[in-house]
Amino acid sequence: MKALSVLHPGGSRIASGEKTIEVRGWAPDLADGEDLVIVENHQHLRHDGDEDLNGRIVAIVKVRAVRPFITADMASSCALVYEDGKLAWELTDIRTVRPPRGPVIAKRGMYDLDMSLEEILSPCRGLRRTA
């Protein structure tokens, strides 16, 4: 499955439904309706090849739309500053993974996580839909 690393507390905010917009400088390579695993990490991954071996799977989402980031998106993205030229990924069908699954590798950008949806959900008692 495709995964996206999100710095703590952003991943937890996505999982709780508080953060419904992810802001990036690039568009995701996802098929319509494709699931995206949210991996929360605690280390900044600033350079290509950076990894955090202690990531935690906190949610599975779908990206409904990708559009320019606007100042009205600040609250939904939990952003502290506005950056012109960024893209807003509208997250939908947010499914919280409880308890978080990990540790798993967190990488910079979007990457393939060698796990199936069934493997991710197998230790969980269920999912809570938040959006």
Q: Does domain 2-129 have CATH number 2.30.130.30?
A: yes
- Structure tokens that stand for 52 in this block: 């955090």
- Give 19-62 pLDDT, tens digit per residue: 999 999 999 999 999 999 999 999 999 999 999 999 999 999 99
Domain boundaries, the chain: 2-129
pLDDT > 50? residue 93:
yes
* Predicted structure pTM score: 0.91
- CA nearest neighbour of 6 among 48, 47, 34, 43: 43
Widest pairwise Cα distance in the chain:
41
What mean pLDDT is reported for the chain? 92
